[in-house]
Amino acid sequence: MKPDTPRTHRLKDYRPPAYLVDHVDLDFALDPTRTEVRAALKIRRNPAADAPAGKALILDGEQLELGGVAIDGKPLSPGDYAVDDKTLTIPKVPAKPFTLSLTTFINPEENKALQGLYRSRGVFCTQCEAEGFRRITYFPDRPDVLSTYTCRIEADTALAPILLGNGNPVERGKLARGTRHFAVWHDPHPKPCYLFALVGGDLAHVASTFKTMSGRKVDLKVYVEHGKEARAAWAMDSLKRSMRWDERRFGREYDLDVFNIVAVSDFNMGAMENKGLNIFNDRLILASPETATDANFESIESVVAHEYFHNWTGNRITCRDWFQLCLKEGLTVYRDQEFSADERSATVQRILDVRLLRSTQFTEDAGPLAHPVRPEAFIEINNFYTPTVYEKGAELVRMIETILGREDFRRGMDLYFERHDGEAATIEDFLKSFEDASGRDLSHFKLWYGQAGTPELVCSLAYDKAKKQAELKFEQVLPPTPGESKKKPLHIPVRVGLIGANGQEIALKRETGEAIEDGVLHLTKRTQTFRFSDVPSSPVPSILRGFSAPVNVTFNLSDRELEFLMAHDSDLFNRWQAANTYATRTLVDMVKSLRKGEKPNGRASGFVKALGIAVGLDDHEAAYRAELLKLPSQADIARVIGRNVDPGLIFRAHRQLAKLTGTTLGSLLEGLYDEAKPSGSFSPDAKSAGQRALRNAALTLLTARGTAADEARLANHFFKAGNMTDEQHALMLLAAGSHPAREKALARFHDRWKDDHLVIDFWFAAQAQYPQRPAIAQIKALTRHPLFSLTAPNKVRALVGTFAMQNQVQFHRPDGAGYDFVAKQVLAIDRFNPSIAARMLVAFRSWHTLEAERRAAAKTALQGVAKTPNLSADVYEIVSKMLDQ
């Protein structure tokens, strides 16, 4: 496939570094096309290394022009070292600690991979995780080499009046001659180089202060483009709430005099937790009622929190190696989820998190890209910032909390912070802290970190009327994943409840009479039976309450039992789950009927009726009712069907059910739509957002009904919208159908927002999800639109990403035109930004589940990618795994 196959890195090959770097002095002379970087590294042999004394010093470095090397001030001659495109090797270095000085030159303007130092709309910025620092200078670019840093930045004053680094500001001033100035920053906390950052540019900011729990004052600033200051207020507010929350919930205090956030436009990911200087994709900072949706406000809040929380879980305690990525990411996602749950509705937050887990991680786990939460091998680490590492990683932390209980969990966290502060740690260190704090054995639980795949839990219930005994039986089915055919049974905490015929909760008692704490059952064997005594009548079981483990539950509940749970379950998550299971079942049936050319069975009307009752219960908050009204996505149905998938049929079934729901529940939905009408000015708080979500969910279903009045309502919703939440929702609905105002709405949106590079992405995305045949031609034309740019990741995600991930029916066209389009974009992007190219290619991850014609077309497209010369390691790794089935 590739003459020079990229190297695989393995966890089992981990060796401690031969050399450590205690301190790094950096001096940058910023220049758009030729930035000079002078580095002085204080190096010593690692006493803990198993390497022999006198071992060569090997540093990582890529895309660098080397200007000079010196040891303790003495320049080396070219014969004293060797440079290739990945390393600098110095065979002989002093036995005593020494200072290595390096001069390198880099070209930020030309850097479209957006790793290392680059420019985004004129702003110099960096992205070093995972291996970007090696594009700045030669260095042992691995997370277990921790150093303090001093960084001097010099630049033209007009070009970059703002100069920011990690840590605390030390000094700034003008250079004696000319138009340049400088700033010096010092970070006293030892850190791995992936947390290094600098920013230089002409930026505006908003400022505030925070008083920590021990009374220290911290200066907070959020830097944005000039004119966007007002849009940074929500991010600042979120930051302060995050800082307070981490003190209250985990006793974690901030540790520098300043905390800076910078929003940049071109960014490969969401955001980055660089010590004291977080850099964000501006999509995750900028928000105002006119320009951002409630979903944007929500993700800003949670990502600002996420990056802030990394200060303890990631920065002060970092990862020993990249295989341990979940140590910081899974844990920090868990922490940001908990923060959002506390700031908003805990039940709704859980529903959103589980929806995301299922749609992204379960899909990944069921296909060729499945890997354990702690992978054992990778070619390109950038490919492992995955839903498995992040979202499933968070679920593993949550399960530890469920197993230990809240108090012991907190004790374990405290011990982890106490023991490992300032270190590069492992999953073993993390688990040991919980074991030692609680006295519990987590060795069986640890399997979760090494075994890929989503377990299926097959459950059944038997009731013995004479003995008044109920019996719950579980079987763990562990599907094979690539390279791992045999799996061991896991330790699965399953929270359950039994509900009596009167709708009352039945107290859970073992045969011994002993109560079952929190209703948590511990499954540890392949099959296991639990008996409950004193059960007065045949109960309906509520299984996996709060989604206590990342598994699929198979339980043959009847439609009537689901309806019962939708009305009576005291666990609100499981009430929603019952509705979701019912909807999924209905849609799967409808797909079957369509395939056979038969009329749909009666299940759909049963489901819609039950949904109407559940939504009508007015003890539920608006945001929760909105979640009930959202039908499972087409991709969800595809995942559940799992083989021989025909996305065309799923699309039709989905439309049918939406229409039936809109028609049957018409007056209820009209009522909700009218009642939830916002009054007063816009507020982004959870309650107001919930009202808007409910209203928009009702609008979606009413639009599916499709009467003239419904068309008028939608047009009105769009043209009279008072905020972006409503405007964007209506635009998506208008653009997805054949509404008479479709073109007019798109034109108006374009004219109104063409100068706003964030808002216009909604316009690209709305057209990318158009489910009709002309979609591809239109999307191709949009790639030539003056506002589109292949080098801007947000634009690529809005147009190509939305098409490939959301537009199930056109991406999966049987003639392969959708696959062909995406594959071509991937190859074009791979020339300059491999990480984004590889991300887009992931859209093919379920190709093996498709029906034969589409499967063949997808395979052809993937083979075309695979045989292209000079693929990046990123794309090579993804495409080879996908074809390796």
Look at residues 232, 235, 236, 227 and name the one whose alpha carbon lies nearest to residue 208: 236
Contact partner at residue 336 from ligand ARG, Zn ion, none, CB < 5 to 8 Å by partner kind: none
Count of residues engaged in binding Zn ion, rule: CB under 5 A? 2
Query: One symbol per residue from 306 to 345: x for binding Zn ion (CB under 5 A), - otherwise; what is it?
Result: -----------------------x--x-------------
Could you tell me the two tokens for 495? Answer: 């929270």
Select 311 or 451, whichever has its Cβ closest to ligand ARG: 311
Radius of gyration of the chain (CA): 28
CA distance 236 to 230: 11
Nearest distance, CB of residue 199 and Zn ion, angstroms: 19
Select 692 or 881, whichever has its Cβ closest to ligand ARG: 881
Spatial contact of 45 and 53, defined as CB atoms under 8 Å apart: yes
Nearest distance, CB of residue 319 and Zn ion, angstroms: 11
CA distance 403 to 517: 11
What residues line the site for ligand ARG (CB under 6 A)?
129-130, 269-273, 306-307, 329, 382, 385
H or E stretch covering 198: strand 198-201
Select 318 or 728, whichever has its Cβ closest to ligand ARG: 318
CA distance 263 to 283: 8
Could you tell me the two tokens for 119? Answer: 């420019």
Pairing, β 98-106 against β 65-71: antiparallel
Select 31 or 329, whichever has its Cβ closest to ligand ARG: 329
User: What does the DSSP assignment read for 130-181?
Assistant: TTTGGGTS-B--STT--EEEEEEEEEETTT-SEEEESSEEEEEEE-SSTTEE
Pairing, β 116-120 against β 180-191: unpaired
- Cβ contacts of 520 within 8 Å, gap of 6 or more: 402, 403, 493, 494, 495, 548
Burial of 479 (0-12, 13-18, 19+ CB in 10 A): middle
Contact partner at residue 300 from Zn ion, ligand ARG, none, CB < 5 to 8 Å by partner kind: none
Contact partner at residue 246 from Zn ion, ligand ARG, none, CB < 5 to 8 Å by partner kind: none
CA distance 590 to 588: 5
Distance separating the N- and C-terminal Cα atoms of the chain: 16
Select 187 or 329, whichever has its Cβ closest to Zn ion: 329
Contact partner at residue 385 from Zn ion, ligand ARG, none, CB < 5 to 8 Å by partner kind: ligand ARG
State the catalytic residue, choosing from 301, 307, 338, 711: 307
Nearest distance, CB of residue 738 and Zn ion, angstroms: 42
- Alpha-carbon distances, residue 299 vs 206, 330, 334, 727, 730 (angstroms): 20, 17, 15, 18, 20
Amino acid at 376: E
Nearest distance, CB of residue 375 and ligand ARG, angstroms: 14
Burial of 175 (0-12, 13-18, 19+ CB in 10 A): exposed
CA distance 819 to 811: 6
Select 261 or 490, whichever has its Cβ closest to ligand ARG: 261
Nearest distance, CB of residue 134 and Zn ion, angstroms: 21
Nearest distance, CB of residue 280 and ligand ARG, angstroms: 9
Look at residues 883, 874, 881, 885 and name the one whose alpha carbon lies nearest to residue 369: 881
Select 335 or 739, whichever has its Cβ closest to ligand ARG: 335
Could you tell me the two tokens for 832? Answer: 């300059």
Look at residues 378, 394, 227 and name the one whose alpha carbon lies nearest to residue 302: 394
Contact partner at residue 606 from ligand ARG, Zn ion, none, CB < 5 to 8 Å by partner kind: none
H or E stretch covering 10: strand 9-10
Contact partner at residue 269 from Zn ion, ligand ARG, none, CB < 5 to 8 Å by partner kind: ligand ARG
3-state SS assignment for residue 459: strand
Nearest distance, CB of residue 109 and ligand ARG, angstroms: 21
Phi, psi for residue 448 in degrees, rounded to 5: -55, -30
Catalytic residue list contains 307: yes
Look at residues 854, 885, 880 and name the one whose alpha carbon lies nearest to residue 866: 880
Contact partner at residue 858 from Zn ion, ligand ARG, none, CB < 5 to 8 Å by partner kind: none
Nearest distance, CB of residue 462 and ligand ARG, angstroms: 46
3-state SS assignment for residue 619: coil
- Alpha-carbon distances, residue 475 vs 300, 494, 499, 555 (angstroms): 40, 12, 22, 11
Nearest distance, CB of residue 425 and Zn ion, angstroms: 16
- Alpha-carbon distances, residue 372 vs 452, 487, 575 (angstroms): 4, 12, 30
Contact partner at residue 271 from ligand ARG, Zn ion, none, CB < 5 to 8 Å by partner kind: ligand ARG
Nearest distance, CB of residue 303 and Zn ion, angstroms: 9
Select 128 or 508, whichever has its Cβ closest to ligand ARG: 128
Select 123 or 130, whichever has its Cβ closest to ligand ARG: 130
Contact partner at residue 646 from ligand ARG, Zn ion, none, CB < 5 to 8 Å by partner kind: none
Nearest distance, CB of residue 320 and ligand ARG, angstroms: 16
Spatial contact of 183 and 169, defined as CB atoms under 8 Å apart: yes
Could you tell me the two tokens for 621? Answer: 């908050």
Select 331 or 736, whichever has its Cβ closest to Zn ion: 331
Nearest distance, CB of residue 114 and ligand ARG, angstroms: 9
In the complex, which residue's CB is closest to ligand ARG? 385
**Of 439-468, which residues contact Zn ion (CB under 5 A)?**
none
Select 332 or 548, whichever has its Cβ closest to Zn ion: 332
Contact partner at residue 627 from ligand ARG, Zn ion, none, CB < 5 to 8 Å by partner kind: none
CA distance 107 to 469: 73
Contact partner at residue 569 from Zn ion, ligand ARG, none, CB < 5 to 8 Å by partner kind: none
Computed from CA positions of residues 651, 652, 655, 657, in that sequence, does the dihedral angle turn out positive or negative? negative
H or E stretch covering 307: helix 294-309
Select 395 or 563, whichever has its Cβ closest to Zn ion: 395
Catalytic residues: 307
Interacting residues toward Zn ion by CB under 5 A: 329, 332
